[in-house]
């Protein structure tokens, strides 16, 4: 998933008026302000009220549903372009959000998890360092997770030294 393709996808999401936040590797890169490694996919959390519109907009770009675990997530693929992993959120009036879990429960995202980073000089909504760390718990870290966690360490170290 190239940076250029990420920006195409984000343009499509924005065009339907949907709020979104990046997580995963691109979310870490947004916090860094640059692409730090190759990415298989783009993990994007969206305002669940726009799920149908977002999926339709991605379909017009050639993305088709590959994995459908709704209401938790939908993964779409476009041959030769990459994958987009869409996570619908129920936004709350206090700025927090909830994501339905596969087991029927919910994942709670306090308002403090949401921030803004940048990609290619463009401001992009994403999740904070603390949230990105939390999302990488509960499973054996893959090499890309180890890379991302080290970049988060770099960010925290840099912030502590300012």
CA distance 146 to 63: 29
Is the pLDDT confidence value at 45 over 70? yes
> Taking the CA of residue 128 as centre, how many other CA atoms within 13 Å lie in the half-sphere pointing to its CB?
10
Residue 83 CB-density burial (10 A; 0-12 exposed, 13-18 middle, 19+ buried): middle
* pLDDT confidence bin for 160, thresholds 50/70/90: very low
**Alpha carbons 70 and 73: distance in angstroms, whole number:** 5
Whole-model pTM above 0.75? yes
Buried b (16+ CB within 10 A) or exposed e, 46-58: bbbebbebbbebb
Q: What is the mean pLDDT of the chain?
A: 95
Per-residue pLDDT at 158: 65
Residue found by looking up tokens 């869409």 in the block: 86
Find the mean pLDDT for residues 90-110.
96
- Report cis status (omega within 30 of 0) of the bond before 157: no
């Amino acid at each position: 998933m190239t940076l250029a393709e990420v920006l195409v996808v984000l343009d499509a999401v924005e065009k339907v008026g949907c709020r979104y936040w990046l997580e995963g590797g691109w979310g870490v890169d947004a916090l860094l302000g640059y692409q730090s490694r190759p990415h298989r996919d783009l993990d994007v959390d969206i305002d669940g009220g726009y799920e149908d519109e977002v999926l339709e907009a991605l379909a017009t770009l050639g993305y088709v549903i590959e994995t459908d675990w709704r209401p938790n997530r939908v993964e779409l693929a476009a041959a030769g372009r990459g994958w987009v992993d869409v996570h619908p959120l129920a936004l709350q009036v206090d700025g927090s959000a909830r994501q339905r879990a596969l087991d029927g429960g919910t994942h709670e995202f306090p308002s403090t998890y949401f921030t803004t980073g940048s990609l290619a000089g463009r401001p992009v909504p994403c999740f904070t360092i603390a949230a990105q760390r939390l999302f990488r718990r509960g499973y054996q870290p893959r090499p890309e997770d180890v890379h991302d966690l080290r970049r988060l360490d770099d960010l925290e170290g840099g912030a502590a030294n300012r």
